[in-house]
Structures are given as structure tokens and as C-alpha cells.
Amino acid sequence: MLVYAVSFEAVLGLEFWIGVAVLAGTYGIFALGLQLNVGFTGILNFGQAGFMALGAYAMGILVADVGWSFWLALPVATLIAMAAGVFIGLPSLRLRADYFAIVTIAFAETIRYTAQNARELTGGNQGLLGFDNEWAEISIAMQDALGNVGLGEYFLLPLAIVTWILFGVLVIVLRRLTRSPWGRVLRAIREDEDAAAALGKNTLSYKLQSLAIAAALGAIAGYLLALNLSFINPFQFEPLLTFIGYAVLVLGGLASYVGVAVGAVVLWTLLEATRSLDLPLAAEQIAAVRFMLVGLALILLMAFRPQGALGKREEMVLGDQ
């Protein structure tokens, strides 16, 4: 009988949890955009990976090819991603929910295949490098400071700290927005768009704003992913990423920003811990087993707590789009 085991020494190590923190924070920010779209506005955005790719590539090209400062490229690339959200949303947000979902998937794949084939601009499959020098200087300075408390050996710790500080700031901003009159209009659109329109609200404008903010959050997550890996490659932005974001929402619960944090940590702890599975299988088969375990966790959650860890049942009922 074969005994399969997980290397608990690796899982219990601080380096493992720092890696989980970086990934969970990055995809948590990514999922915040989906939470705003799905949990509060009721629009099915399946193209978040495209906004992530667009933001990352725009930043990388502006820094590596054009020669801009990293800190100047970040807001400009964010605005580019937001403009893309408006551009995609204007003709497609009038469509039914399922057709809008198809349009956003097509947009994400268009961005990815363009990045893959525009080799002179993006580096194609070879990837884009040389955009993180300014961040590297800050990271080294933070490592030196962390060395005073015995944590200077962990290369990714500065990025983990910055990622979660950024996540916290974004959650505070989004909570204030969604508790404002603007946020109440989003909820009204989610529940009954026709009723919101009858009250004189320009529902298309509000949905465009929601999509643009989600695009900005996707772009920010793209920057963090690029800094984590130190290069940008089109294979990093496959449609699977958007569905990982939806898995985070299911785990954490709709209309709960804290739930996004919980869902992201649980998901990436499970995914990273199962990397250490000792199975007599090929690498791609082990990867499939890891996602099967995540699928099993989602099935069990939907069976026993369909609203997610911190979600509410009343937030699950969306109006027809």
C-alpha cells in the first residue's frame, strides 16, 4: 500500500507562508475587482485576467522600452486598463449577462494572444524583463531593515508586506465607496436594474464605473505578479486566473471584502501546500490533483455553506441581467 504524504516541514516554514502571503495578496486584489462587479453590481466579468495582463504589459513596456520611471508608469498603466474597461463595456454592458461574459473572455484572450505575437513590443513567449530595477532598490532597503529583527534573509518578505498593506488600503477605499450613495446604486442595479433605471439612475454609467475600477484593481494585481516573478510572460495570464478569482469569491462569500482575504489565503494555502504531495505521478498529473482537491473543497463548501465563509445568503440572489 502506498502512503502519500505532504512535507509538513516545508509547509510550517516561514518561507512557505511568505510565498502564500504574496500570492494570496496578489490574487486577493485581483478578486476585489470581481467582488465589486459580481458581489455589488451583478455583472459577470470573466475578463479580469485581460485587465491584469494589460496593466502589467503597459507598465513593463513604459519602463523597459520607453524608459519611464517605474512610479510614473504605474498610474499611467492603471489608467490604460481603466480606459480598456470603459471601451469594452460601452458596447457590451447592454448585452445579456451570458453574452457579456463571452465578450470579456474574448477580450482577455485577445490581449494575451496579442502579447504573445507582438514580439518586438512585448518579448512574446520570451517575456519582458528589466522593469523592476527601482522596486529592487526599495526591496533591498526593506530587507536591510528587516535584518535588524532577524528577517533579512527572506527575499519575498518586502513584497508580501507591501502587497498586504496595499490590500488593506484598497479594502478601506472600496468599503467607503460601496457604503456611499454610489454603492447603494450599484446594489440597486444588482437587484433590479429596471427599477434603478426607473428611479432616474443611468445604470450603464454606473456599471461602466464598476468595470473600470475592477480593471484598475486587475492592473494593480498584474504589477504585483510581475514584481514577484521579475518578468512578464503571456502564459501568466490565461483565463484560468479569472476562474481562480471566482474560486476566491466562492470561498470567501459575495459582497464581503474580508471574505476575499479569507478566500485567497485558504485557496493559496491549499494550492501551495499540495505542491509537496509525494505522489508517483508526472508533474502535470500532480497539478491536476491539486486542482481536484480545490474543486472538492468548493463542492463541500457549496453543500454545507453556499454563501461562503463570510458571505450572507441574501447577497446570493442576483437580479436578472
Which CATH number is 63's domain given? 1.10.3470
Low-confidence ranges of the chain (pLDDT < 70): 1-12, 276-279, 312-321
Those residues with Cβ within 8 angstroms of residue 131's Cβ, 6 or more apart along the chain or in another chain: 59, 60, 63, 64, 70, 73, 226, 232
User: Is residue 137 in some structural domain?
Assistant: yes
How many angstroms separate the CA atoms of 307 and 298, rounded?
11
**Can you read off the three cell numbers belonging to residue 282?**
508526472
Q: Which residues does 61 contact at the CB level (< 8 Å), separation at least 6?
A: 121, 122, 128
Which pLDDT score, from 0 to 100, does residue 298 have?
79
**How high is the pLDDT of residue 129?**
95
Residue 266 in domain: yes
Give residue-wise pLDDT tens across range 237-279. 999 899 999 999 988 988 899 999 999 999 999 888 887 666 6
Please provide the average confidence, as pLDDT, over all residues in the chain: 90
Residue 84 forms part of a structural domain: yes
User: Domain range holding 184?
Assistant: 8-316
Cell of residue 178, nine digits? 460601496
For 161, the enclosing helix (H) or strand (E) is helix 157-178
SS (H, E, C) 233-283: CHHHHCCHHHHHHHHHHHHHCCCCHHHHHHHHHHHHHHHHHHHHECCCCCH
User: Is 167:25 a contact under the CB 8 Å cutoff?
Assistant: yes
Q: Give the residue from 81, 158, 79, 121 showing the smallest Cα distance to 232.
A: 121
How much of the chain exceeds pLDDT 70, in percent?
92
Identify which of 208, 204, 215, 224 has the alpha carbon closest to the alpha carbon of residue 80. 215
Q: How confident is the model at residue 277, as a pLDDT?
A: 67
Grid coordinates representing 264?
A: 485567497
Task: Judge whether 1 lies within some domain.
Answer: no
Residue 152: HSE in the Cβ half-sphere, 13 Å Cα cutoff:
11
| Entry pTM | 0.92
Cα atoms in the Cβ-side hemisphere of radius 13 Å centred on 101: 13
> Which cell goes with 9?
516541514
pLDDT given for residue 10 in this prediction: 57
List pLDDT tens digits, range 120-159. Answer: 999 999 999 999 999 999 999 999 999 999 998 999 999 9
Residue among 103, 247, 109, 221 nearest 163 (CA) = 221
- The candidate with the shortest Cα–Cα distance to 272, out of 241, 294, 298, 251, is 294
Helices (H) and strands (E) in the chain, counts: 14, 0
Q: For residue 321, is it within any domain?
A: no
Under 8 Å between Cβ of 198 and 60: no
Residue 2 lies in a domain: no
Q: For residue 207, count CB atoms less than 10 angstroms from its CB and return exposed for 0-12, middle for 13-18, buried for 19 or more.
A: buried
CB 190 within 8 A of CB 319: yes
Q: Are 310 and 265 in contact (CB under 8 A)?
A: no
Asked if the structure places residue 243 within a domain, the reply is yes
Total domains present in the chain? 1
User: Does any domain span residue 3?
Assistant: no
With beta carbons less than 8 A apart as the criterion, state whether 80 and 54 touch: yes
Q: What pLDDT sits at residue 315?
A: 63
